[in-house]
Amino acid sequence: METPEPADVRAAAGETLTQSPVTIGVQSYSFRDRSLEDAIAAMQKLGLRSCELWQGHVEPAKQPRAQLRHWRETVTMEVFQSIRDRFRRASIALSAYNISMQDDFSDAELERAFDMTAALGARVITSSSNITTVDRIVPLAARRKMIVGMHNYSNGRPNEFTTASQLADALRKGPYIGVNLDVGHFTAANQDAVKFLNDHHERIVSLHLKDRKRDQGDHVPMGTGDAPIVPVLKLVRDHGWPIPINLEYEYNGGDAVEEVRKMLDYCRRTLGL
């Protein structure tokens, strides 16, 4: 089996209609307070041309676990193709589908996550996976030739990715396992995002960019916390790494559109765009 070059996969994930050397997009979770239609409208208003689509904008809300499993196992792919077409009409590229494949997923749910991503026209899955789920994901990802980027959190719960060593262990399980590095959470867990980016940039398929304080500190407006926002942005720009940078609004602010605008303006000022 031929393995795609990581840069090829990341370049596909970072397709954009702009000519910027850095792809600045958004995690649609930033607009979790509104429908998918309104989230797309918000992205258009901000001039964003790249999106990592959060599963909460696709799946039925507040379903009992058994009903959600049934939906995932039986939903037609036309639902996802329709969403793909809505993004295309809005001139927004889908860099990845963010669906968190965990231990309670049936084998069919895992398989369907890849079907959904393909139907969306994305080539990358990002996933807040359990550590122990990775062994089940590895053969599926290899067979489907799709990279799954493991997402990190800061709270150090058992069976949840938190540290650099845990993410590196996952990377060793196979070439189709990547990392969706959340810079804010990594900082709050007292991990070094700049070092990890330098060491593993070829395996990083997405960056979640937000600011937090160290030592499990709060989410804060961009530029007021401890996350190395500026060094991360400049590393990606200066090395030409094709890693989509997805803004993720989580602090307590005002209207989501205006808060994401502030984040976007901060990044653009940093990069001189």
Give the pLDDT confidence of 228-253 residue by residue, as tens digits: 999 999 999 999 999 999 999 999 99
CA geometry: angle 72, 61, 153, nearest 5 deg: 85
Give the pLDDT confidence of 90-123 residue by residue, as tens digits: 999 999 999 999 999 999 999 999 999 999 999 9
Mean pLDDT (10-residue bins), the chain, 273 residues: 44 44 95 98 98 98 97 98 98 98 98 98 98 98 98 95 98 98 98 98 98 98 98 97 97 97 97 89
Give the pLDDT confidence score for residue 207 in this predicted structure. Answer: 98
Residues in the chain: 273
Give the pLDDT confidence score for residue 11 in this predicted structure. Answer: 47
Give the pLDDT confidence score for residue 20 in this predicted structure. Answer: 59
Contact 45, 92 (CB under 8 A): no
The model scores a pTM over 0.85: yes
Query: Which domains, and CATH codes, for the chain?
Result: 6-271 (3.20.20.150)
**Rounded distance, CA 50 to CA 43, Å?**
9
